[in-house]
Each structure stands twice: as C-alpha cells, then as structure tokens.
C-alpha cells in the first residue's frame, strides 16, 4: 500500500486517536471542494446519480442532520469548512478516520500477495515492492476477513469495505422466502401424499412439480421481474403502506422470487419425509376413529417433522447461494446502508461476491474471496445442521 502524505506528520500523533472534530478539520484542509461535495453525496445521501447543487441545504439534506446556520444556503455556495461541518455531524469518528485515510493520507492498496507466498517468499515480495518504484510504499499484513469485515458497510475503498448490508439483505430475504415457501410446500406435500388419489389432475401436479424443479433459476428471475417487480409493483414497492423511495426492486420481490424457486424442492423433500412415515402408524390412528386431518396432524406430521426440517434447511442453503434471480429482480449495485425493512432496496451476499469478482482490481477479488468464505461457512453450518438432524432421524426409526 502507498500513502501520499505521512499520516503521523499530519496531526503529530496517530490518526486513530484523533477526535472527530480534528479529523474533520484535516479533511477540510486537504480536500478540494468538489470532492467534498461528492463525499456528502456518497456518505450521507447514498445516491449514485448527480445531485442538484443549486438547492438550499435544508431541501437537499431533508431528513439528515446539518448545522442550522446553513439551512438556507445553496449547496453550491458552501465553503470547504461548511461542507466538512455537514460531514462531521452525520458521520462517526471511525468513518471520518477512514475518509481521512483515503482522501488525505491517500492510503491505497496497490498490490496484494497471497498468504502462502508471503510466508514462503517474503524476500521476493519485498524485492518486488522495492522495484515497483511506488513512492511511500509500505508492506503490511492485511487479513481480508475479520470481524470488521462482517460489520462494516460497503465502501469504495477495498481495505475498509465489508459485507454488513449484504449479510443483512440475505438474512431478510431468507426469512421471507422461508415464511412463504415452507407452509405452501409442506401443504402441497401433505396433499399429494395423504389426500391425492391417482387421477389425471393429481398426476399433472406431480409431474409439474418435477418439471419446475428443473427450470433454470434465471427463468424464475425473469418471472419475478415481470410479476413481482412490475405487475405487482404497487404492492412490492410498499407504496400501499406509504413507502415512496422504492420501485418494486425490493426485498419482498426478491424473497417471493426465491420462494417460487425453492418451492418444488421443499415439496419434493417434504414428500419424501412424509412417505417415510410407516403406514402402520396411519392405520392405527384410523383404527382409533381419527379423521384424516387428525391423523395427519397428530401422527404423520410429528413423525415426519425432522425429515421435513432437514429438507427445509437443504432448500434454504440452495436459496442462499442463488445469485442470478436476484440480479435479474434488481439487486442494487452499491448499497451503503442497512436494509430498513421488507420494502427497501437490497443487495445480498452472492450478489456482492459477483460484483466484487467482476471488478478488474485485484483488491476487490480479494474481498470477493473473503465474502465467499463467509458464504461457505454459512452454507456449511446449515448443511451440517441438516446432516445432524438426518442422523438423529435415522437412529430413531431404526
């Protein structure tokens, strides 16, 4: 990594120890006005398009904090100090520290080497750094994956970017997906296994579910785009409950799309679990005078429950990794803020991985690798839970 200025010489002591006001002052002294305006846009307003700078501050920053004295000043007329004051009241010390590092110190990662090589060939790397003629280059060990990576938001500076918004997006989407897919899927499985007589209609349903399981996931994405995002845009954008800043490309739309996608898998898994319940249990229940639903509810479902749960976890782990439908439904490119509810714009872990991988800079590839590890750990723990459950079941039935 390189620096344009020596961080310690700037303030006389390490930047981490500086209070927010000091950091803001540094930012104001060493950054151009146009860049500060961009920072206000990126860090506070979180919009990607250009803003109308002729607006007064109270209009442009409606809903955000700003010094009262500046309320009626036009945004374009603000001085460096005033822009910094706006940044200071909106951002915390840690974020200001990152900004000073990136903007003032010019802290940039210019190259990275894999762990294995840095352990075995440190001299080679040092020689490369010396030969690269980058001014102020400094070698530093950086672990891309640590606790900060999980809790910090997306950033355009690779070294301080994290997966917080993506992780939260994934969790929100999965909750809604499962809330929709599991009741529907288990209901369908009960119908097909306990109620359906082999006639043409039921055979059609059965074949149809097998076919749906083979439909490529991207087709579901297109379906979600046409139905949830566009046709039901009024509902999925949250306009009916007064949410105004979204356009149907929301968490709900994504979750419904994934629910359609995993539904056949949930059904097939639940069917297998229900089929594994011995007939003798049902016959005993009927023999005691129970109705069909009483038999299902009190005998079959409890016996099949662990199996159904296993299947559900497996379909959940399938849904977590799905990327293409989310992109088609409209996962947003760059999201800095946490999702605020089911009707907010979203990104998700696999989408974030895709974007980082698709960028040409090496550092983003490293970030993608770190995010992949997070995703795989999540998946492996889900699968391990499913396998444990399955073993418990097979022990009990034998």
**263 binding other proteins? (CB under 8 A):** yes
The secondary structure of residue 15, as a DSSP letter, is G
**327 binding other proteins? (CB under 8 A):** yes
**241 binding other proteins? (CB under 8 A):** no
- Rounded to a whole number of angstroms, the minimum distance from the CB of residue 239 to other proteins is 16
**260 binding other proteins? (CB under 8 A):** yes
Please list every residue from 348 through 367 that binds other proteins, using CB under 8 A.
350, 353-354, 357-358, 365
- Rounded to a whole number of angstroms, the minimum distance from the CB of residue 156 to other proteins is 18
Give SS3 for 2.
Answer: strand
Here's the x/- map for other proteins, 274-303, by CB under 8 A: it reads as -----------------xxx----------
Pairwise CA distance, residues 210 & 204, whole Å: 10
Please list every residue from 200 through 239 that binds other proteins, using CB under 8 A.
202, 204-205, 208-212, 214-219, 221-223, 225-227, 230
Token pair 């839970």 is found at 385
**273 binding other proteins? (CB under 8 A):** no
Give SS3 for 244.
Answer: coil
The nearer residue to other proteins, 27 or 251, going by C-beta atoms, is: 251
Q: Say how many residues touch other proteins, by CB under 8 A.
A: 66
The nearer residue to other proteins, 28 or 185, going by C-beta atoms, is: 185
Instruction: From 50-58, 155-163, 181-189, 280-288, give the range in contact with other proteins by CB under 8 A.
Output: 181-189
**240 binding other proteins? (CB under 8 A):** no
Structure tokens at 331: 């996962």
Give SS3 for 316.
Answer: helix
**145 binding other proteins? (CB under 8 A):** no
For residue 254, the surrounding DSSP H or E stretch is helix 251-275
The nearer residue to other proteins, 264 or 311, going by C-beta atoms, is: 264
Residue 249 near residue 330, CB atoms below 8 Å: yes
Structure tokens at 69: 């004295």
Token pair 């961080």 is found at 7
Binding residue (CB under 8 A) for other proteins from 192, 252, 301, 389: 192
Binding residue (CB under 8 A) for other proteins from 10, 51, 109, 184: 184
Give per-residue burial for 185-198: e unless 16+ CB within 10 Å, then b: bbebbbebbbeeee
Token pair 């109270």 is found at 58
Pairwise CA distance, residues 329 & 254, whole Å: 6
Q: What is the dihedral of CA 32, 34, 38, 43, to 10 degrees?
A: 40
Instruction: From 66-74, 132-140, 260-268, 300-308, give the range in contact with other proteins by CB under 8 A.
Output: 260-268
Pairwise CA distance, residues 308 & 350, whole Å: 26
Pairwise CA distance, residues 325 & 317, whole Å: 15
- Rounded to a whole number of angstroms, the minimum distance from the CB of residue 354 to other proteins is 5
Concatenated DSSP letters of 36-79 = HHHHHIIIII--SS---TTSBHHHHTTTS---GGGTTSBGGG--
Q: What is the CA radius of gyration of the chain?
A: 27
Residue 178 near residue 312, CB atoms below 8 Å: yes
Question: Which residues of the shown chain bind other proteins in the complex (CB under 8 A)?
Answer: 183-185, 187-188, 190-192, 195-196, 202, 204-205, 208-212, 214-219, 221-223, 225-227, 230, 249, 260, 263-264, 267, 291-293, 314, 317-318, 320-324, 327-328, 330, 333, 350, 353-354, 357-358, 365, 368-369, 372, 375-376, 379-380, 383, 387
């Amino acid at each position: 990594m390189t620096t344009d200025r020596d961080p310690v010489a700037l303030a006389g002591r390490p930047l981490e120890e500086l209070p927010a006001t000091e950091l803001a002052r540094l930012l104001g002294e060493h950054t151009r006005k146009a860049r500060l305006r961009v920072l206000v846009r990126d860090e506070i307003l979180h919009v990607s398009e250009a803003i109308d700078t002729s607006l007064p501050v109270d209009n442009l920053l409606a809903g955000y904090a700003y010094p009262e004295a500046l309320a009626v000043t036009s945004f374009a007329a603000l001085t460096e100090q005033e822009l910094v004051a706006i940044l200071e009241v909106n951002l915390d010390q840690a974020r200001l520290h990152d900004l000073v590092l990136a903007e003032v110190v010019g802290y940039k990662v210019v190259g990275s080497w894999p762990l294995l090589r840095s352990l075995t060939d440190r001299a080679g790397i040092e020689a490369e750094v010396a030969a690269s003629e980058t001014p102020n280059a400094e070698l530093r060990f950086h672990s891309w994956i640590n606790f900060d990576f999980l809790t910090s938001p997306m950033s355009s500076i690779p070294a301080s970017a994290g997966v917080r918004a993506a992780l939260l997006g994934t969790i929100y989407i999965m909750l809604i997906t499962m809330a929709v897919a599991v009741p529907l899927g288990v209901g369908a499985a009960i119908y097909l296994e306990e109620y359906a007589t082999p006639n043409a209609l039921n055979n059609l349903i059965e074949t149809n579910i097998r076919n749906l399981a083979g439909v490529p996931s991207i087709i579901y994405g297109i379906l979600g785009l046409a139905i949830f995002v566009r046709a039901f845009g009024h509902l999925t954008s949250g306009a009916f409950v007064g949410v105004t800043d979204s356009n149907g490309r929301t968490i709900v739309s994504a979750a419904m799309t994934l629910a359609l996608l995993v539904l056949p898998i949930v059904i097939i898994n639940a069917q297998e679990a229900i089929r594994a319940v011995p007939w003798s249990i049902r016959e005993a229940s009927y023999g005691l005078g129970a109705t069909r639903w009483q038999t299902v509810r009190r005998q079959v479902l409890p016996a099949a429950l662990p199996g159904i749960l296993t299947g559900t976890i497996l379909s959940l782990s399938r849904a977590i990794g799905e990327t293409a439908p989310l992109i088609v439904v409209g996962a947003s490119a760059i999201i800095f803020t946490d999702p605020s509810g089911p009707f907010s714009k979203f990104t998700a872990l696999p989408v974030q991985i895709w974007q980082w991988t698709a960028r040409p800079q090496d550092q983003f590839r490293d970030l993608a690798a770190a995010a992949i590890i997070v995703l795989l750990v999540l998946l492996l723990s889900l699968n391990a839970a499913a396998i444990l459950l399955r073993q418990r079941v097979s022990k009990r039935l034998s």
